[in-house]
Each structure stands twice: as C-alpha cells, then as structure tokens.
Chains A and B, each alone.
Chain A
C-alpha cells in the first residue's frame, strides 16, 4: 500500500493555508484597508476621492446631525437586542431542555431561514405586513378589525424585520450556553429552598451570561448595519448607521465620510469584542473551568 509521504502532507497543508491566507488578504484585508485609506482622504465631486490627507471626515462625525443618527441607531440596535433576548431566551431554554432527539430538528428550524437571502425574506415581510397584506386580510376576514392596521413603514415593522432577521444569532449562542448548563445545579438550588424565580435569577441567568453576551454582540452590531431593513420596511427614513454609510456612498457621493463611518462602526465592534473576550476570560478562569 502506498502511504502518503510526510512531504505530501506538508505540501497539502501549505497549499491549504496559502489559499485561505490569499483569500482573506484579497477580499477582507485589502478592502478594509482601502476603506481606512479613503476615510482619511478628501472628497472630490468628479472622481469621488482625491489623494490628499484630511481628517475632515472624522471631524464631521462629531456633527450634531450625525450624533443624533448614531444615538438613534444605538437605540434601535439596543431595543432589537433586548427583543431578541426576550424572545430567544425562552426558546433556547426550551430547546436545551427538550429531549435530545427533538433538539436537532428544532435547531434546523432556526437555521432554515439562512438558506434564503435575508433581503428576499425582508421583501416577503412586506407582503405579510402591508395594508392589504396577509395579516390585515386575515384580521379583516375574521372581523377583528375594519380598517387595515398601519404596520408597514412604521418603527414596528422595522423592529419586526430586525428581530426576525437577527433572532437566530441570539438563539444559537444562548442554546450553546444553556445546553452546557448542568441541570443538577438547578435541582440543588430547589433542594436548598429556592423558588423558581430565584433559581432563574441566581443560577440560570448568571451561568448563561456568556451566551447572553455573545448573542447580544451578534445581534447588536449587525442591527446597526442592516440598512435594507429600515429602507424596505421603515420607508426611506435613514435610521441606522448602515443607512448613513450606504447613503454617503450611493446618494451623497461622499466616499471619505462613508468610509469614516464604516471605520467608526468597525472600531466599535472591535471595542465590544475586546470587552467580551476580557469578560469571557475572567468568567473562564472562574466559572467554566471545572476542577
């Protein structure tokens, strides 16, 4: 029998690594660097950017008009995160506590939406939410309402869209952390006299904190960037940082400012990730490490 020689394995390994590195460099590192470079250049009406150094774009970030957008964007993202947590936690808990053979199919239900582009799914939401859409047609047919409910092009529609799109990102880390939760600890708490609410606040919640944090980050950051959800469901109002960035590039033609907002968003993400990993490290050295 022909055994693959060590040199063959090494060649395969090096080729595989080289491929991944090239891909990452070409499609992630280079574009990111381009954005970072553009953000410190000057805008030009005809060629979009001129190669002259300027911090103008970053100064503009402090403009009250934009600060207001940042604030609003934050509020939307925070509210979306909270809603996802409220909806996702009970589901993830149920999922983690259900029989093993039901877990996989249920998990699949969470993942199935990923198979369709979220843009297309957002268009589908329009059909459900619009004045003569599915919800209103049913409610009117059932005689519950006479006039159609105004859902589409309101904040409610935007929240529905954001929560719907981002919910799996909350459920999956929550499930991963709740699934590891030792239910015997819950029994021990009951044994020591804890009521259900106390078991939740003192045992389940603190022990699922890593999952809650991971889920929050995975919902909060994309929520600020999902420009097409407010665009399609909230009317043409620019509400999120993502809308601002898109508009700077495609409408206002201000590439340096659009880039600066992008860099800001990336920095914010890095900051949150740093906090997350620091906290995780602290938790890991205390909670997770079983003796």
Chain B
C-alpha cells in the first residue's frame, strides 16, 4: 500500500442544521481502489465532493497529497470526478467534452488530440470523437465521462455512483472494466455506491458508512465475513439473525442459548454472562439435513416453506419451530446428496462451527 493520498482529519459537514458527515477521520492510500459504501443520505457523496472541492467542510481538515486542501478551489485540485449524471456538456461533441480540461490548461492542440484519442481507446470508444453526446447510449455516455476525467491524468479519480443509471448486464461489464482501468492507470480510485455487490466485487478496501459515521473499514472479505456490527452485517449481503443470550463463559469459549438450543461458540469480543447477543449466519453457511436422529448436533428444527431453484444454487425459505423465517442457499455438488426438499418437510438446521458471527444485541 502506498502513502496516504487523502486524509480526513475530524471532518464534519452539515446542511441546514443537519449533520451529514460527523467527525470523520479516514486515510486513503495512493493507488488503492477504495469504495465508500452506505445507504442514501449516509454522507458518502458529501465525502467525495469534499475531496473534489465542490463542498467545503465545517470542521476538520481534508489533506490531499500532503497539502491541507480545505481552501483550495476545485479547479486547482489534481482530482477529477465521474459524476452520477455524467454531466457531459450537451453543446459539445465527444471530442470537445474530453478535451475540455486539457484545453483549459492551454495545451497545444496536437497534444490534446493525441491524448483524447488515447483516452477514447482506453474506454473503448475509438472513432467516436465527432459524435454528439445526445447520439450516445447511456453506457457510451458513461465511458465519455470516464475518458473526460482520466485524460487529465489526475492523482485521484472520484466516481460518484457512476453505474447506477446502467442496466444490470452493462453494470456488470463496467465493474470489470473499471477494475482493469484502475490497474492500467495505477492511480487512486475513490468510488461511491450504495450497491454492496458493486463494492465487494471492485474494491481493494471498503468504507461502510451510516448516518455520517464510518461503521467499518476493511477489505471486502473482512467486511463480509467479519462485520463489525449489526448495521454492517445487515447492509452487506443477506443474513439470518438469531437472538440469543450468553449463559456462561471462560473468556475464550462461551455457552449460549440460541432459539432455545444450547451450544458452545468462541468468545471473540469479551462477552459476559447474561449478555444479549445476536448470532449472524449467511444463507450459504447453513447446513440443512433431513430431520432424523442422525442430524448434526446442536441444531435448530424447522420446516421447508419455499424452495427456489436458481440454477447453480437451491435457496430454501425455512420456518423454524419458533416461527422465525430464515433463508438458506445450497450449492449443487455432484457428490452431494439430493438437495431438493418437499414443501413442509421437516429439516435440521446447523452450521459449521466457527462460521457464525456473534454480535452484541444493541
């Protein structure tokens, strides 16, 4: 990981007496693909706009490449943005749009044309220079917006939900292309999205935000497998939550009661006796067996309510005997036994020890 390229130091920003970014400190490192992930209104776009210089901060410092940049106007920052709406200039051609930044800097025309061609090739739009913006599809406009930003060779590329206006298939393609572009350019990408799948597939590091605060920072795998709190667990991926209580602990292990079933799990967070907990399990972590005396112990009991065939997986909706509904996913495996169940069939639900995430019930 490179050196810090952007640092937020105690940054606070509010609009109309409402705090949008609440005393955030965050280091972003040179060359990384960092995603700010969170629900709408969590402050992620405001963070991005503060880096771009389109928003000032009320308190704290935004340091870009070692320079306190609070008072540096957007035009003088070595940062370019791909806007959510693309914000392409409608009165200019593709070429004029991409050349805009370079021509403002007064670069010689030959150099501008060469760089624009290069940028167009980079986003796979070679030969589109003379087109009018209105004649392009949404995906093509997206590419022009990217080219217009990267042609200036910025230190940091900011991407504000750039894929949200594209259809599903195109979005998946663009994820891959953005990753490739990031590798090719070697510059820092800061990406804002509310789509957890986008964040997980593209980023080196994810910053999960909520209500103007950072909930968790980490690599995608870390965020998914070891969510720091219930918000992250709920926001990222599908989860089954079970309420429970700690009945005894020796510091390393603890006895818990989950859905009235006693079991022993690792005590990773210093839980104490009688503390209310929530046990989080991903649908793909669940082990489903036909109800019999041979079921793995300990297990929860339930009945299959719904079976959803998805090609490579079979998803089940199971109603536990307590009335709670949970979702499970099982992958096809040629060696595995039959994973189709009849409706209302009684099943045992367990999981591989250690895959559960236990969080305090806040």
Q: Contact residues of A with B, CB < 8 Å?
A: 182, 184-185, 187-195, 198, 202-203, 206-207, 286-291
Contact partner, B101, options A182, A184, A192, Cβ 8 Å = A192
Say how far A201's CB is from chain B's closest CB, in angstroms: 11
Instruction: Report whether over half of chain A's contact residues are helix, strand or loop; otherwise say mixed.
Output: helix
* Bound Cα distance A50, B67 (Å): 87
The answer, among B80, B105, B137, B141, for a CB contact under 8 Å with A191, is: B80
Given the complex, which residues of A lie within 8 Å of B135, measured CB to CB?
291
* 21 A–B contacts from the bound complex (CB under 8 Å): A182-B87, A184-B83, A184-B85, A185-B89, A185-B90, A187-B74, A188-B89, A189-B89, A191-B54, A192-B75, A192-B148, A193-B75, A193-B101, A193-B104, A194-B75, A206-B91, A207-B91, A287-B134, A290-B90, A291-B133, A291-B136
Q: Establish whether residues B75 and A195, one from each chain, have CB atoms under 8 Å apart when the complex forms.
A: yes
Which A residues are in CB contact (< 8 Å) with B54?
187, 190-191
The reply to whether the CB of B171 lies closer than 8 angstroms to some CB of chain A is no
Q: How many pairs of residues, A versus B, come closer than 8 Å at their CB atoms?
A: 75
Report yes or no: B91 in contact with A286, Cβ–Cβ below 8 A: yes
Alpha-carbon separation in the docked complex, A289 to B148 (Å): 21
By a beta-carbon cutoff of 8 Å, the part of chain B in contact with chain A is 52-54, 73-76, 79-81, 83, 85, 87-91, 100-101, 104-105, 132-138, 141, 148-149, 152
B111 to nearest A CB, angstroms?
A: 16
Taking the closest CB of chain A, its distance from the CB of B99, in whole angstroms, is 10
Q: Which residue of A lies closest to B103 (CB)?
A: A202
Judging by beta carbons under 8 Å apart, are B133 and A190 in contact?
A: no
Chain B residue numbers with a CB within 8 Å of A192 are 75, 80, 100-101, 104, 148-149, 152
Docked CA distance A129–B152 (Å): 56
CB-CB under 8 A from A194, the residues of chain B are 75, 100, 104
Q: Which residues of the partner chain A approach B100 to less than 8 Å between Cβ atoms?
A: 189, 192, 194, 202
**CB-CB under 8 A for A191 and B52, given A291-B137, A291-B138:** yes
Q: How far is the CA of A191 from the CA of B88 in the complex (A)?
A: 12
Contacts of A191 in B (CB 8 A): 52-54, 74-75, 79-81
**What residues of A have a CB within 8 angstroms of the CB of B85 in the complex?**
182, 184
- Bound state CA distance, A185 and B83, in angstroms? 10
Distance, CA A182 to CA B86, complexed state (A): 11
Closest-by-CB residue of B relative to A196 is B75
Please report the C-alpha to C-alpha distance between residue A261 and residue B21 in the assembled complex, in whole angstroms. Answer: 67
Chain B's nearest CB lies how many Å from the CB of A108? Answer: 26
| Cβ–Cβ contact B105 & A193, under 8 A | yes
Q: Shortest 3 CB-CB distances between A and B: which pairs?
A: A188-B87, A192-B101, A190-B74
B87 contacts A286, CB within 8 Å?
Answer: no
Closest to A286 in B: B132
Q: In the complex, are the beta carbons of B104 and A198 less than 8 A apart?
A: yes
A184-B87 contact in complex given A190-B74, A191-B81, C-beta closer than 8 Å: yes
Chain A residue with the shortest CB-CB distance to B148: A192
Q: A143 to chain B: closest CB distance in Å? A: 45
Name the distance in Å between A266's Cβ and chain B's nearest Cβ.
Answer: 33
B134, A290: Cβ atoms under 8 Å?
yes
Within 8 Å CB of A286, what residues of B? 90-91, 132, 134
